[in-house]
Chains A and B, each alone.
Chain A
């Protein structure tokens, strides 16, 4: 079973920031928080990952709560191309090994 909880869907306006939440209350100390996305008819694509500190890259920012029980993926200016399913995944614990366990994710719709 997936160990993260995400809203089923969210909607955003183009050019506006988007905050995608994820709850992971049973996270262990060695779990990394990963975000992937899947554009229509494509394979999953890595977005960002982190352990404890907030992370930034060219695609997005990841804000991790101090207790690590939740995190938020931030797209600073949504474009139509960002419409996708976004997956929040925990990886790295002894229980899960190297594989990625995908849940249902959050369907992000971007309106022009």
Chain B
């Protein structure tokens, strides 16, 4: 069964450092998303991406965040200067046109120290 894969599974970084979280969505999907979940809290929407541009973003997704689909297969989330409060599980998701089903990856646990 096709799946969304995320790497790394766990990343520890120093405050102020840049991190790139990577995702490989399912191949025929055209809608891509990033969500995050701080420990013990709700899953929060960050950004959606379609046709090589951001289609929607939340208040959380400020200038420190960016997304990219550099090579037609990977979908990345970059945090330019990490803060302690960026520590969370980050989930990538993808969806094909016309389908109501979004497929989520297993997540990347980001720990900022």
- Residue numbers of A with Cβ under 8 A of B are 32, 34, 36, 38, 42-46, 49, 87, 91-92, 97-104
Residues of B within 8 A of A91 (CB): 100
A-B contact count (CB 8 A): 53
Partner of B104, one of A32, A45, A92, A104: A45
Q: How far is the CA of A103 from the CA of B41 in the complex (A)?
A: 10
CB contact under 8 A between A42 and B106, given known A98-B55, A98-B56, A99-B56: yes
Q: How far is the CA of A42 from the CA of B95 in the complex (A)?
A: 18
User: Which positions 44-75 of chain B face chain A at CB distance < 8 Å?
Assistant: 44-45, 48, 50, 55-56
Structural contact, A49 and B48, CB atoms closer than 8 A = no
Q: Mark B99-110, 1 if CB is under 8 A from A, else 0.
A: 011111111000
Mind listing 7 A-B residue pairs with CB under 8 Å? Answer: A36-B102, A43-B104, A49-B100, A92-B100, A98-B50, A98-B56, A102-B45
